[in-house]
């Protein structure tokens, strides 16, 4: 078994010995065995990284944006050359099936840096307005705090945009899945990125994360994670105050309008389940609510039961595996707790359940689970972050469907399906969500991503993602 141990941090262009001696243990979620350790960084480590980033900021931000984009292109090439390694690390640390890790866990990270060359020219870096010249300038030193579910993509979506904008970065990756961030740091060093432009400090949220948010040299914090943790970040940052961008939870609805029939209906049901189960349901924008006319619930339930039963769970290194384990025992227990509570509240179990899957004595698995529950119930309202789909009936027309779809505090993503494409587009135009798929429209990696309500604020990816890390200065003549 490959040893995932790392004993240094990446600060000011060098592999630095951490200030303390404490470590964090990494665990393979399939074998449930330790696979290595990384440093448990401290506030002192954050201070060193912040000072390095602040020293590097004037020179980096002064470069023409075209030169910063060229660095991003070199980083993309370096990541592409190491896709297999990145995928293997992601699979070992967070349990995603290897095929999925190649295409998404590694592939999206490559795309984040590669797309900068296409989207940066769309940023209005300079424009004249009356007697003023407006320029977009780097927001400053950015503290980036990222989650474990997409351990490379969540990092690169922030750092590629921040670097293109002229910012310098101090990164705290998730403590459960830091390995790919080390690979990224190696790639950045190989690309010749100037010292201090990118810094990596591993550790826990209370120790490293809060030190980043409160450090006086941090001009901006970009955070992705739970709504609860996002509130804490916003609270701490407000004391300065300093800019924040928060990408938080979701409870995305896939809405089937009442004109769907036959294969189109079955296809929409299947696509919704796929959107829920990808990455073992550990996706903030997952379609975790199937909202459909009450008269179609049993028809959908029959389709879903068959699809859930046919899903192959197992060793994420096996190409046949479609769903791997959840990232940790705590996450598994949390998701199972949601299922148990939903059943106690009266939800109807269509497939799955809280038990360990048969034939898998180890691994933090949760069965693909389908429940039927009413709008307003706990399982319909709360983010589960696991392979759990809630079928939610509505009574009435499109207005009733929209009321159910928007009946949660979140607004990250959504989907709508209808036989009449114009009707579906009109419905999407009324949904309050950051990204909406119409009749199976695929994800666009250069489109902005972010939410409304308790899903946070700010946008990542695309030109909007770069602009998020800038501030506008007006010079009058």
Q: Sign of torsion, CA 254 260 262 264?
A: negative
Q: Does position 290 have pLDDT exceeding 80, yes or no?
A: yes
pLDDT the model gives residue 445: 85
DSSP secondary structure, 199-238, as one string: EE----IIIIIHHHHH-TT--EEEEES-HHHHHHHHHHHH
Instruction: List, in order, residues 6 or more apart from 438 with CB less than 8 Å away.
Output: 415, 416, 421, 424, 425, 428
**Percent of the chain scored above 90 by pLDDT?**
99
113 within 8 A of 79, measured Cβ to Cβ:
yes
Phi-psi region of 373 (alpha: psi -120 to 50; beta: other; left: phi over 0): beta
Place of tokens 């006319």: 293
Task: Please state, in angstroms and rounded to a whole number, the distance separating the CA atoms of residues 360 and 354.
Answer: 14
Domains of the chain: 9-248+455-476 (3.40.605.10), 252-444 (3.40.309.10)
Closest CA to 295 of 393, 415, 372: 393
Task: Please state, in angstroms and rounded to a whole number, the distance separating the CA atoms of residues 403 and 427.
Answer: 11
CA–CA–CA angle 195, 198, 201 (5° rounding): 115
Q: Where does the pLDDT of residue 188 fall: very low under 50, low under 70, confident under 90, or very high at 90 and above?
A: very high
Task: Please state, in angstroms and rounded to a whole number, the distance separating the CA atoms of residues 249 and 228.
Answer: 9
Token pair, residue 449, equals 């991503």
Convert the pLDDT of each residue in 131-170 to its tens digit.
999 999 999 999 999 999 999 999 999 999 999 999 999 9
Task: Please state, in angstroms and rounded to a whole number, the distance separating the CA atoms of residues 229 and 223.
Answer: 9
- 3-state class (DSSP) for residue 20: coil
Q: Helices then strands (H, E): number in the chain?
A: 17, 22
Compute φ and ψ for 94, nearest 5 degrees.
-125, 0
- What are the CB-based long-range contacts (under 8 Å, 24+) for 210-215? 210/236, 211/42, 211/43, 211/46, 211/47, 212/46, 212/50, 212/143, 212/145, 212/170, 212/172, 213/143, 213/145, 213/237, 214/239, 214/240, 215/46, 215/47, 215/50, 215/143
247 within 8 A of 284, measured Cβ to Cβ:
yes
pTM, two decimal places: 0.96
Q: Does position 269 have pLDDT exceeding 60, yes or no?
A: yes
Q: Does position 2 have pLDDT exceeding 90, yes or no?
A: no
116 within 8 A of 160, measured Cβ to Cβ:
yes
Strand partners, 133: 128, 475
Q: Where does the pLDDT of residue 83 fall: very low under 50, low under 70, confident under 90, or very high at 90 and above?
A: very high
Task: Please state, in angstroms and rounded to a whole number, the distance separating the CA atoms of residues 332 and 364.
Answer: 6
Mean pLDDT of 231-253: 96
Q: Sign of torsion, CA 155 157 163 166?
A: negative
Distances (CA, A) of 247 to 7, 150, 167, 208: 30, 13, 19, 19
Place of tokens 């105050």: 241
Catalytic residues: 247, 284
Task: Please state, in angstroms and rounded to a whole number, the distance separating the CA atoms of residues 203 and 183.
Answer: 17
pLDDT the model gives residue 1: 56
Mean pLDDT of 396-423: 98
Element at 302 (helix H, strand E): helix 297-310
């Amino acid at each position: 078994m490959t040893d995932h141990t790392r004993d240094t941090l990446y600060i000011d262009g060098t592999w630095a010995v951490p200030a303390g001696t404490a470590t964090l243990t990494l665990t393979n979620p399939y074998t449930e065995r330790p696979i290595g350790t990384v440093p448990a960084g401290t506030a002192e480590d954050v201070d060193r990284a912040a000072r390095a980033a602040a020293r590097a900021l004037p020179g980096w931000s002064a470069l023409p944006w075209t030169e910063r984009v060229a660095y991003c292109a070199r980083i993309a090439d370096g990541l592409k050359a190491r896709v297999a390694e990145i995928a293997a690390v992601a699979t070992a640390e967070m349990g995603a099936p290897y095929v999925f890790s190649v295409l998404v866990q590694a592939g999206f990270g490559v795309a984040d840096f590669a797309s900068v060359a296409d989207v940066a020219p769309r940023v209005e870096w300079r424009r004249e307005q009356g007697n003023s010249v407006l320029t977009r300038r780097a927001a400053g030193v950015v503290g980036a705090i990222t989650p474990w579910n997409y351990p490379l993509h969540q990092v690169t979506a922030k750092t590629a945009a921040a670097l293109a904008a002229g910012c310098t970065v101090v990164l705290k990756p998730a403590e459960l899945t830091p390995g790919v961030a080390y690979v990224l740091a190696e790639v950045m060093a190989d690309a010749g990125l100037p010292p201090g432009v990118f810094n990596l400090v591993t550790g826990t949220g209370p120790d490293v994360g809060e030190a980043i948010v409160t450090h006086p040299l941090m001009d901006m914090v970009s955070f992705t994670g739970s709504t609860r943790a996002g509130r804490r970040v916003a609270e701490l940052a407000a004391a300065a105050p300093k800019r924040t961008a928060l990408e938080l939870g979701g409870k995305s609805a896939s809405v089937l309008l009442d004109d769907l029939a036959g294969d189109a209906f079955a296809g929409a049901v299947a696509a919704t389940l796929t959107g829920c189960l990808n990455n073992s349901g550990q996706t903030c924008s997952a379609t975790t609510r199937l909202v459909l006319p009450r008269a179609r619930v049993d028809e959908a339930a029959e389709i879903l039961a068959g699809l859930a039963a046919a899903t192959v769970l197992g060793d994420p290194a096996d190409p046949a595996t479609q769903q791997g384990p959840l990232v940790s025992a705590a996450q598994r227990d949390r998701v199972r707790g949601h299922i148990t509570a939903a059943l106690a509240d009266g939800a109807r179990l269509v497939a799955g359940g809280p038990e360990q899957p048969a034939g898998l004595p180890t691994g933090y698995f949760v069965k693909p689970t389908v429940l039927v529950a009413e709008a307003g119930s706990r399982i319909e309202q709360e983010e589960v972050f696991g392979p759990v789909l809630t079928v939610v009936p509505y009574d009435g027309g499109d207005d009733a469907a929209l009321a159910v779809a928007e009946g949660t505090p979140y607004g990250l993503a959504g989907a709508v399906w209808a036989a009449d494409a114009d009707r579906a587009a009109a419905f999407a135009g009324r949904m309050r969500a950051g990204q909406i798929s119409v009749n199976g429209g695929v994800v666009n990696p250069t489109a902005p991503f972010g939410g409304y309500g308790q899903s946070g604020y700010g946008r990542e990816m695309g030109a909007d993602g770069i602009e998020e890390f800038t501030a506008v200065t007006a010079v009058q003549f």
